[in-house]
Amino acid sequence: MSDEYEHKLEAKSDYVGDASSVSTPDIDSVPKAELPDQELYHSHSWWTTYVFSQDAKYIGIQYALTAIGTGLLGLVLSWLMRIQLAFPGLGWLEPTAYYQFVTMHGMIMVVYLLTALFLGGFGNLLIPLMCGARDMAFPYVNMLSYWAFVVAVLVLLASFFVPGGPTGAGWTLYPPQAITAGTPGYNGGIILMLISLILFVAGFTMGGLNYIITVLQLRARGMTLMRLPLTIWGIFTATVLAMFAFPALLVGCLMMTLDSLLGTSFFMPAMVSLGEKLTYEGGSPILFQHLFWFFGHPEVYIVALPAFGIVSDLLSVHSRKTIFGYRMMVWAIVGIGALSFFVWAHHMYVSGMNPWFGFFFATTTLIIAVPTAIKVYNWILTLWRGNIQLSLPMLFSLGFIVTFLNGGLTGLFLGNVTVDVPLSDTYFVVAHFHMVMGIAPILVIFGAIYHWYPLITGRMMNETLGKIHFWITFIGSYAIYFPMHYQGFVGVPRRYFEIYDSPYIDTSTLLLNKFITIAVLIVGAAQLLFLYNLFASARLGKKSEKNPWKANSLEWQTPQMPPEHGNWGKELPKVYRWPYDFSVPGAKEDYIPQNQPPSEIIGAKVEKT
Amino acid sequence: MIVALSIFLITIGSIAFHFWSPWWWTEVASNWGNMDDTIILTFWITGAVFVAICFFVSYCVWKFSYKKERRAEYKPEDKKLESRLTWATAIGVAALLAPGLVVWNQYVTVPKDAYKVEVFAYQWGWKYRLPGEDNVLGKTDIKYISDENPFGLIIEDPNGKDDLLVDAQELHVLKDRPVKFELRTIDVLHNFYVPQFRGKMDMVPGIVTYYWLTPTRVGDFEVLCAEYCGTGHYAMRGRVIVDEEKDYKKWEAKQITFEKMLAKNRKNDNLQLVKKDK
């Protein structure tokens, strides 16, 4: 210990400062390593290399592919629902099937696609590489985390094959209807859903502990917290949120399982179900809603924060410019994360909870708009006087800004308690959350995949296919969700199997439904292009040079690309700066990698980081 | 160029859609027109932000597109600009929130003279109960619900005797009289929603929730369930008819009190018993 302190005193002047004034190798010194180098598990067989892998990079890819596969099912379900909504005359679906598809679509997209892909996929791939570690802190637990996720997905899929089919309770699973007759899958599918969520939470906790501890403990020498890429800040904060939020979901699921199987009454009051008096008594359905949204709202940010982080990095790299207001960006991420635990009941303004809560939750909800707005300003100020390359990741980032802006602003409608009253439970809500936590993060995911694909495969994805994919996805999804808000104004309620010719809805609204459905089919089909590009480019793609985007962060500075097992060869990297030194005046190149020592860039006027 | 132009056109297109598309809210039929006003206010403020930011992005993409020989500006921070933007946002947000809270206060404060009507929801349909001559709704308990006593009124409560029971999907309310809907469900969550009234509140088994409004125009409106309640959710429709005094009285006169309904049901039961005895 004493050794360390001594060293810190010494090192004070060594932190990269005014590089031009000093020119001794002294300026290149970084703090000593606090922990010995990690000992890694080395696989010996095909099984332990490719299936039960303990290498975070493989686990990340496994997570991502499983999540994308599950997400494709969610996509197909959305097609089936939209066809029913646009062409009710076809007799395409039964109401039970419609509600089952709505439920599975929602749960798959939010939990099994987005959460798993951002944290399990990008988290595993990027945390060790960007922090300059050899692997996660606990590789074995990391492997278990992935396989728990696989089992959770299998249990979820199994619910399609039980009598009564999957649950049709809506993704919010509100009791009492989730476990009473009158809802599809009320005694079979729902139990599998709850078990699957419990498994997911268990698996995620194993992964999450890994992400947190790796970021806190295994950073390379010189990698201070305020030199971390915003991607890592986003993933890290989201994981902390998940650690606090998922337990609420877990207990909610456990309690509902008990209500259903053992006849306890946590959430179940005395009731008459379809003419039959049930034996429950005294439980509170609103209690479940509190538990669910105490998880559910932070969940929005569990998806959004990694997207915020990643898009910040993409914008900075591809506009060759320092991210604007880094410190503010970090505090905004942390602030949003903290505030996200005080806004949950804005999902419950008209739930029947004490209406006086509305004042508190409307205020907290609108406060959270401020750090969120700061992030948007800083993204666009990063573009200002940049040198903007319209590469695929940049295109998707721009698409994200427009989509997220739109979805974020409609959040100000729904968060403001009075405005929410006429709009809640209408298509305005559906449009809002698809824009803000569906399309916006997915655009970031696409941008991120195009950006980091060479890091994984050593090849570039096809640019032309990527551009077609971008334009159809971006414009198409805007065409789906922008008009949908206006259906909400008309008053079209969500979760309706069929609207009928209601007297207050004129026929043009039904026509709009057809337009939206056609757009959904096209946008969905465009994702096949992406999948083709994703798999074909691994073989056919143009070979990538090392660090193809000329980025500064550590993942591109590994001795081999794609990085090998252990990432860094013999010696761990040393970090001298933050990852945003782009276009520094006086520097030869327009980028300075994080591990480039100050003695090699004499003359560059870098600001101290 | 194409990218900048696209973002510009999307912005213009969104504005055009907003003003010229045929899809807008129904004509309001209650006193909650001020909810519409808060929406309009929100539209102006958020709309301005949307347009400003999209135009800014579009301009940047056009103006600062990549040139090999150019270097981007190196400016990691600008404290002054950041704090100005933060304050401007905070003020904008406060301007949205304040009127919202004022209207919410009205929404949750029921006028003392509001006429109470019970809305009774079940999978999947509606019934209604009016307080009768004494203007007080009798107490209920779910355990008393039976064929004989479909609303589950407590028979010992004298206030319930004159309650008018409307065992139909259709409710009439009087124009310009404030009405407090006391919302009750006997099974799962529901929500009593009439688009033209704007108001909304979930119905939760075990408790009675409420909201109030004053109908402001005569008409025939559809009731929809706005909280998912199982397979029949989409078909859970009812009607509310706003009447002038004369028509309302006519309708009210046709409704049957709890006392009478009970007597009738008991008579039927006795008849059935007699039949069985034979």
Residue B184 is part of which domain span? 115-273
Residue B220's Cα: distance from chain center in Å?
Answer: 17
Same-domain pairing of B121 and B259 = yes
Residue B55 in any domain: the answer is yes
Structure-block tokens of residue A201: 């939470």
Residue B73 in any domain: the answer is no
Say what angle helices A507-540 and A463-490 make with each other, to 10 degrees. 160
The domain tally of chain B equals: 2
A274 to chain B nearest CA, in Å? 7
Same-domain pairing of B151 and B98 = no
pLDDT digits (tens, 9 = 90+) for A499-513: 877 888 888 888 999
Residue B74 in any domain: the answer is no
Same-domain pairing of B121 and B209 = yes
Phi and psi at residue B174, to the nearest 5°: -90, 135
Say what angle helices A392-415 and A357-383 make with each other, to 10 degrees. 160
At residue A609, does pLDDT exceed 80? no
Same-domain pairing of B121 and B248 = yes
pLDDT digits (tens, 9 = 90+) for A62-76: 999 999 999 999 999
pLDDT digits (tens, 9 = 90+) for B34-65: 999 999 999 999 999 999 999 999 999 999 99
Same-domain pairing of B57 and B152 = no
Same-domain pairing of B131 and B224 = yes
At residue A6, does pLDDT exceed 50? no
Across A26-35, A138-147, B254-263, least confident range: A26-35
Q: Give the span between the Cα atoms of A139 and A135, in whole angstroms.
A: 7
Q: What is the mean pLDDT of chain A?
A: 92
Of B72, B191, B205, the CB nearest to A320: B72
Q: In order of start, what are the domains of chain A with their CATH numbers?
A: 57-266+282-555+562-597 (1.20.210.10)
Of B14, B96, B202, the CB nearest to A352: B202
Same-domain pairing of B130 and B213 = yes
Share of chain A above pLDDT 90, in %: 84
Confidence of residue A264 (pLDDT cuts 50, 70, 90): very high
**In chain B, what is the greatest distance between 2 CA atoms, to the nearest angstrom?**
106
Average pLDDT over residues A169-183: 95
What is the residue whose two structure tokens read 């049930």?
A278
pLDDT of residue A22: 43
Residue B252 in any domain: the answer is yes
Same-domain pairing of B129 and B260 = yes
Average pLDDT over residues A232-239: 97
Same-domain pairing of B178 and B213 = yes
Same-domain pairing of B137 and B97 = no
Report cis status (omega within 30 of 0) of the bond before A371: no
CATH at residue B212: 2.60.40.420
Set of chain A residues whose Cβ sits within 8 Å of the Cβ of B234: 95, 495-499
pLDDT of residue B277: 58
Residue A360's Cα: distance from chain center in Å?
Answer: 28
- Here the ipTM equals 0.94
Transcribe A271-315 into DSSP letters: -EETTEE-S--S--HHHHHHHHHHHHHHHHHHHHHHHHHHHHHHH
Residue B72 in any domain: the answer is no
Residue B84 in any domain: the answer is yes
Of A176, A395, A493, the CB nearest to B226: A493
Same-domain pairing of B127 and B247 = yes
At residue A28, does pLDDT exceed 90? no
Share of chain A above pLDDT 70, in %: 96
Confidence of residue A4 (pLDDT cuts 50, 70, 90): very low
pLDDT digits (tens, 9 = 90+) for A371-426: 999 999 999 999 999 999 999 999 999 999 999 999 999 999 999 999 999 999 99
Average pLDDT over residues A90-111: 94
Same-domain pairing of B86 and B186 = no
At residue B141, does pLDDT exceed 60? yes
Q: How many CB atoms lie within 10 A of CB B72?
A: 23
pLDDT of residue B80: 94
At residue A30, does pLDDT exceed 50? yes
Residue B71 in any domain: the answer is no
Better pLDDT: A22 or B250: B250
Interchain contact, A489 vs B71, CB within 8 Å: no
In the stretch 35-74 of chain B, residues with CB closer than 8 A to chain A read: 35-36, 38-39, 42, 45-46, 49-50, 53-54, 56-57, 60-61, 64-67, 70-74
Interchain contact, A370 vs B226, CB within 8 Å: no
Report cis status (omega within 30 of 0) of the bond before A422: no
User: Which run of H or of E encompasses B87?
Assistant: helix B79-108
Confidence of residue B273 (pLDDT cuts 50, 70, 90): low
Structure-block tokens of residue A230: 């915003």
Residue B240 in any domain: the answer is yes
How many cross-chain Cβ pairs, A to B, lie less than 8 Å apart? 328
pLDDT of residue A510: 85
pLDDT of residue A15: 42
Residue A253's Cα: distance from chain center in Å?
Answer: 22
B262 to chain A nearest CA, in Å? 19
